[in-house]
Chain A
Amino acid sequence: NAGVTQTPKFQVLKTGQSMTLQCAQDMNHEYMSWYRQDPGMGLRLIHYSVGAGITDQGEVPNGYNVSRSTTEDFPLRLLSAAPSQTSVYFCASSRGIWTTQETQYFGPGTRLLVL
């Protein structure tokens, strides 16, 4: 198993450009989520999905869109990049929230710089 993969690893954007951060998992996990990590602020939840076709907003959803057409993939779209979106983005997945053995697996992160 590759686990959770994210592409690209690093990206530079100009203000106003759009792009999609890719996230995929091969563990057949129902639950997937996107976080951003900023210095001194820990990880903050952007969007999450509890299954294919179902998504919901997290703590900081503005400026981001998500969709979940398959169990494996959960892309994050920046519609019009802003310097405030400069951050490190992590994708995570877990088997379910109903089990006591639930563990969240993280991808390696995508570092995004918006100029």
Chain B
Amino acid sequence: AQTVTQSQPEMSVQEAETVTLSCTYDTSESDYYLFWYKQPPSRQMILVIRQEAYKQQNATENRFSVNFQKAAKSFSLKISDSQLGDAAMYFCAYRSPRPGTYKYIFGTGTRLKVLA
């Protein structure tokens, strides 16, 4: 069974600085999808970034980028130029691409605090 681990329950970053959130996962599949979701105090889950395992290039979305290390089964999220609005819970998630599979596995989350 697949598992997703986020070992940092809480992180802090100074406004305008860069922070990296860690995520590791365990799977025997060779192809899969990985996601980072943001959950602000409003509780709405918002997709931040997505990575397909077959793509070697790391995904980037504006100030958000990932460091995907397939062999190490690591999928970290880097937030550059941190803003106050980035303060939220961040969840890493895994999904298998197998036909008929629609099960996401989420990590336990990392709470990010942004200091003014």
B11 within 8 A of A: no
- Given A100-B52, A108-B43, A109-B44: A43 touches B91 (CB 8 Å cut-off): yes
Q: Which residues of B contact A33 (CB under 8 A)?
A: 102, 104
- Alpha-carbon separation in the docked complex, A108 to B100 (Å): 26
- Alpha-carbon separation in the docked complex, A48 to B104 (Å): 10
B113 within 8 A of A: no
Report the count of interface residues on A (CB-CB < 8 A). 25
A42 touches B101 (CB 8 A): no
Chain A binding surface, main DSSP class: strand
Q: Which residue of A lies closest to B103 (CB)?
A: A45
B106 touches A88 (CB 8 A): no
- Alpha-carbon separation in the docked complex, A73 to B35 (Å): 25
B91 touches A48 (CB 8 A): no
B91 touches A50 (CB 8 A): no
- Alpha-carbon separation in the docked complex, A88 to B43 (Å): 9
Q: Which residue of A lies closest to B91 (CB)?
A: A42
Q: Which residue of B lies closest to A9 (CB)?
A: B43
Q: Which residues of A contact B107 (CB under 8 A)?
A: 42
For the complex with contacts A33-B104, A97-B102, A103-B47, 17 further pairs of A-B residues with Cβ separation under 8 Å are: A31-B102, A40-B108, A42-B4, A42-B107, A48-B103, A58-B103, A90-B45, A97-B97, A97-B101, A100-B52, A104-B35, A104-B47, A106-B37, A106-B45, A108-B42, A108-B44, A109-B44
Report B's interface with A, CB cutoff 8 A: 4, 33, 35, 37, 42-47, 50, 52, 91, 93, 95, 97, 100-104, 106-109
Closest 10 CB pairs of A and B: A106-B45, A42-B106, A43-B106, A42-B108, A109-B43, A48-B102, A108-B44, A103-B47, A42-B107, A31-B102
11 A-B contacts, Cβ less than 8 Å apart? A41-B108, A42-B4, A42-B106, A43-B104, A45-B103, A48-B102, A88-B43, A97-B95, A104-B104, A106-B37, A108-B42
